[in-house]
Amino acid sequence: MSTSVDKSGRERLSATESRERILQAAKYAFTRASYDAVGVREITSMAGVDPAMVSRLFGSKEALFKAVANEAFSLEPAFIGPIDTLGEQIARHLLAPIRKPEGEIFDEFAFLLRSVGSPRAAPILSESLHDDFVKPLARRIGGRDAQARAAMITACVMGFAVLRAALGSPAIEGAKPEKIVGMLGAAIQACLDT
């Protein structure tokens, strides 16, 4: 079976195939550099598609970034369980060894950290994080001030993750794991129980 090519020598792809290739290339690029440092031509070159496909399939670089952000944040299994022990469960999850599956090109945490300082990307990140993580967590925990409590839990989780994974904290890594689980779990549980 032969692959057809266009006039420029690029492989002819369906819109669905082009969209998926662009998304994968964008995930890779935005994980390794900020929104402001990544160009559409760089992404489409990696994807093996014409740069006009970004406009055709997404509308703009900003809309492409939003599509990636919409896939970045979701409520993980560690955030689902009995509310009365959820703080400890989340803390244990955050203290687990940091591993990405072999061959995984997208690192949601790096994606967030690389572009959070961009005036164009930060509002997109905030909207996606709230829509895909904070609001589902609020629905999960329910009760009074659920959104504020879910946002506080998210702040605890993200702050801990930045200190541990991005900056490397000798104080956290050198402490007894059960002590960290106890303190972090209690802080998260306070937001759950309020």
- C-alpha span between 172 and 165 (Å, rounded): 10
According to the model, what pLDDT value does residue 6 have? 55
Q: Tell me if 138 is assigned to some domain.
A: yes
Q: Tell me if 23 is assigned to some domain.
A: yes
pTM of this prediction exceeds 0.85:
no
Residue 108: pLDDT band (50, 70, 90) is: confident
- Structurally, how many domains does the chain consist of? 2
Residue 2: pLDDT band (50, 70, 90) is: very low
Same domain, 48 and 82: no
CATH code, domain carrying 43? 1.10.10.60
- C-alpha span between 23 and 18 (Å, rounded): 9
Same domain, 46 and 138: no
CA dihedral (124, 127, 131, 133) in degrees, to 10, reads 80
Q: Are 13 and 49 in contact (CB under 8 A)?
A: yes
CATH code, domain carrying 175? 1.10.357.10
R_g of the chain computed on alpha carbons: 20
Reply yes or no on whether the pLDDT at 33 is more than 60: yes
Same domain, 85 and 173: yes
Task: Give, in order, the Cα–Cα distances in Å from 93 to each of 64, 68, 174, 185.
Answer: 31, 24, 18, 10
Same domain, 49 and 99: no
Reply yes or no on whether the pLDDT at 1 is more than 80: no
Same domain, 178 and 117: yes
Burial environment of residue 181 by CB neighbours within 10 A (0 to 12, 13 to 18, 19 or more) = buried
- C-alpha span between 24 and 124 (Å, rounded): 18
* CA 67 to chain CA centroid, nearest Å: 11
According to the model, what pLDDT value does residue 167 have? 80
Residue-wise pLDDT for 145-167, tens only, equals 999 999 999 999 989 888 887 78
Residue-wise pLDDT for 50-84, tens only, equals 888 999 999 999 999 999 998 888 878 788 888 99
Picking from 7, 27, 60, the residue at the C-terminal end of a domain is 60
Print the domain residue range for 78.
Answer: 73-193
Same domain, 93 and 175: yes
